[in-house]
Copies of this chain bind each other. A is one copy, B any other.
Amino acid sequence: MKIALQEAAELLRTHDNILILSHAHPDGDTLGSSYALCRALLALGKNAAVLCEDEIPCVFSFVAQGMPRPDFEPDYVVAVDIATVKLMGDCVGERFGERVDLCIDHHYTNSMYAEKVLLDDTAAAACEIMYRVIREMGVEITPIMAECLYLGVSTDTGCFRYSNVTSNTLRTAAELMDLGADCARINREVFETKSRSFAALERLALNSVETYCDGLFATVLVTQEMFRESGAGESEFDKIAAIPRQIEGVLVGAAIREQKNGTYKVSVRTNPPMNAAEICAQMNGGGHPAAAGCTLEGTIEENRQTLLRVVETALRKAGKI
């Protein structure tokens, strides 16, 4: 059942032994909103903790500093920034998926699995909603709470670049800054810092960029040798996958990653009107309209030819060539 802000705040004020769930593969928004809420509940003298299936990425770890472990049997379970039970991860989902009392979320795809749901799909980030919830709870927002909330607002908007940003997003960020969030530090650590290994991988990858179809299709290749030479981990490949599509005029970008077993994983990113999921479906893959993937088993040259043939067909079908 959907509820209003005031009711959500009242429910949080009147319960205790509260377990807060973040989604698996946690990002800045689920962590920021979960730990801001946890800190607010602790400030009210309650017992509260955050549970997440996966480890917190190092760059976001400040949000959890000094926070208690979730080692109690909860009386009240709150899911934050989690659209479906599946996104909790297997263990957390199995244990708590069917007994979530309150969900605070901004995804219009929310499956309404929780008893009560505070949903605002106009919010760019769950943290934008959580800021209002904590104020409504009557808790004084400390600088570290403000930093947790700023982390979510900034990361879910690509630091205020994406089309989900509203004037309310920007005003929320302004208020969090006034409440003492060190936004400059967070921006620097999250958005303006490349690990040396990633910088090395990026350099190698950029040297591998090739364009086809009169610049409508671009590829980037990352080999196992490049991972070795740069010292980068395979998780750093995600940011490489964005590179081809950023080039002016490119409608289809493909990032090709050599895997340890010798096959190639292909991440396709498209700009409208091209559909990445449709392109990858031709190669037994799938995904979203703007971002999809597949795995190819040939040699790199065979795979390039396969990709080129599929993308050319798609571009022709779209009337682009």
Contact = CB atoms under 8 A, between A and B. Distances in A.
Interface residues of A, number: 42
A215 B195 CA distance: 11
Contacts of A284: none
A229 interface: no
Contacts of A187: 160-163, 165
A250 B187 CA distance: 15
Interface string A52-72: 000000000000000000000
Copies of this chain held together in the complex: 2
A207 B178 CA distance: 41
A163 to B, nearest CB: 4
A184 B209 contact: no
B162 A249 contact: no
Contact of A163 (B159, B184, B247): B184
A111 interface: no
Given A165-B184, A167-B178, A207 B203 contact: yes
A216 B160 CA distance: 29
Interface string A156-179: 001111110111101101110110
Interface of A: 158-163, 165-168, 170-171, 173-175, 177-178, 183-184, 187-188, 191-196, 199, 202-203, 206-207, 209, 211, 215, 242, 245-249, 271
**Which 7 residue pairs are nearest across A and B when measured between Cβ atoms?**
A163-B184, A170-B174, A167-B174, A203-B206, A167-B177, A160-B160, A161-B187
10 contacts: A159-B159, A160-B160, A161-B187, A168-B174, A171-B171, A174-B174, A192-B242, A194-B246, A196-B211, A206-B206
